[in-house]
Chain A
Amino acid sequence: MADLTSTFLGIKSPNPFWLASAPPTDKEVNVRRAFEAGWGGVVWKTLGLDGPPVVNVSGPRYGAIHGPDGTLLGLNNIELITDRPLEVNLREIKSVKRDCPDRALVVSLMVPCDEDSWKSILARVEETEADGVELNFGCPHGMAERGMGAAVGQVPEYVEMVTRWVKQHSRMPCIVKLTPNISDIRKPAEAAKRGGADAVSLINTINSITSVDLDLFAPQPTIDGFGTHGGYCGPAVKPIALNMVAEIARNPATRGLPISGIGGVTTWRDAAEFMALGASNVQVCTAVMTYGFKIVEEMISGLSDYMDRKGLTETREIVGRAVPKVTDWQYLNLNYTTKASINQDDCIKCGRCHIVCEDTSHQAIAMAADRTVTVKEEECVACNLCVEVCPTNCITMRELSEGELDQRTGKPVSDYLNWTGHPNNPMASTSGK
Chain B
Amino acid sequence: MTTSQFRPGVHPGRLPPADYCEAFADVAPPLTAHQAQVAAARCYFCAEAPCTTACPSDIDVPLFIRQILTGTPEAAAKTILSQNIMGGMCARVCPTETLCEGACVREAAEGKPVEIGALQRYATDTLQASGVHPFARAPRTEKSVAVVGAGPAGLACAHRLAMLGHEVTVYDARLKPGGLNEYGIAAYKAPGGFAAKEVAWLLQIGGIAVLENWKLGRNGSVADLLKEHDAVFLGMGLAGVNALTIPGAEFATPATDFIAHLRQAEDLATVPVGRRVVVIGGGMTAVDAAVQAKLLGAETASIVYRRSQAEMPASAHEQDHAQTHGVRIVPNAAPVAIRKDEQGYEVEFARTETRDGKLVQLDDTLRIKADQIFTAIGQTLGPVPEGLTITGGKIEIDAQGRTGLSHVWAGGDCATGGEDLTVNAVAQGRDAAEDIHAFLMGA
A351 in contact with B47 (CB, 8 Å): yes
- Is A70 a contact of B46 with CB atoms below 8 Å? no
CB-defined contacts of A67 to chain B, threshold 8 Å = 41
Contact, CB under 8 Å: B41 / A352:
no
User: What's the Cα separation between A55 and B50 when bound, in Å?
Assistant: 56
Write the chain A residue with the least CB distance to B107.
A348
Complexed CA–CA distance, A371 and B108 (Å): 13
List residues of chain A with CB within 8 A of the CB of B37: 70
**Residue B106 at the chain A interface, CB threshold 8 Å:** yes
Q: Which residues of A lie under 8 Å from residue B69 when comparing CB positions?
A: 68
Are A351's CB and B48's CB within 8 A? yes
Instruction: Please tell me if B38 contacts chain A, counting CB pairs below 8 Å.
Output: yes
Q: Which of B41, B47, B108 contacts A69 (CB 8 A)?
A: B41
Collect the chain B residues with CB atoms within 8 Å of residue A391's CB.
44, 109
Is the CB–CB distance between B47 and A352 below 8 Å? yes
Shortest distance between the CB of A391 and any CB in chain B (Å): 5
B105 CB–A CB distance under 8 Å: yes
A343 contacts the other chain (CB 8 A): no
Nearest residue in A to B49 (C-beta to C-beta)? Answer: A351
Bound form: Cα–Cα A69–B106 in Å: 15
Contacts of A371 in B (CB 8 A): 48, 50
- Closest approach, in angstroms, between the C-beta of B113 and any C-beta of chain A? 11
- B45 lies within 8 A of chain A by Cβ: yes
Partner of B41, one of A68, A355, A367, A392: A68
In the complex, what residues of B have CB within 8 A of residue A68's CB?
Answer: 40-41, 69
Structural contact, A348 and B41, CB atoms closer than 8 A: no
B41 touching A350, Cβ below 8 Å: no
B50 and A349 contact, CB distance less than 8 A: yes
| Residue A164, interface by CB 8 Å | no
**Interface size class of chain A, counting residues whose CB lies under 8 Å from the partner chain:** 10 to 19
User: Is A349 in contact with B38, judged by CB distance below 8 angstroms?
Assistant: no
Is there a chain B Cβ closer than 8 Å to A238's Cβ? Answer: no
A303 to chain B, nearest CB (A): 30
Query: Is A354 interfacial (CB-CB < 8 Å)?
Result: yes
**Contact in complex: B48, A392 (CB < 8 Å):** no
Contacts of A350 in B (CB 8 A): 44, 46-47, 105
* Bound complex: CA A354 to CA B48 (Å): 10
Task: Give a binary string over B48-71; 1 marks a CB under 8 Å from any A CB, 0 the rest.
Answer: 111000000000000000000100
Which of A347-383 touch B at CB < 8 Å? 348-352, 354-355, 367, 371
- Residue on A with the closest CB to B66? A68
Residues of B within 8 A of A352 (CB): 44-47
* A157: min CB distance to chain B, Å: 47
A65-113 at interface with B (beta carbon < 8 Å): 67-70
In whole angstroms, what is the CA distance A350 to B49 when docked?
7
In-complex Cβ contact of A367 among B40, B42, B44, B47 (8 A)? B47
Cα distance A351–B45 when bound, in Å? 9
Shortest beta-carbon distance, B107 to chain A, in Å? Answer: 9
Across the interface, which residues of B come within 8 angstroms of A348, CB to CB?
105-106, 108-109
> In this complex, what residue of A is CB-closest to B53?
A371
Given contacts A348-B105, A348-B108, contact A69 B46 (CB under 8 A): no
Instruction: Across the A-B interface, give the 4 residue pairs with the lowest CB-CB distance, nearest first.
Output: A351-B47, A355-B47, A68-B41, A348-B105
**9 contacting pairs across A/B (C-beta < 8 A):** A67-B41, A69-B42, A70-B37, A70-B41, A348-B106, A348-B109, A367-B47, A367-B48, A371-B48
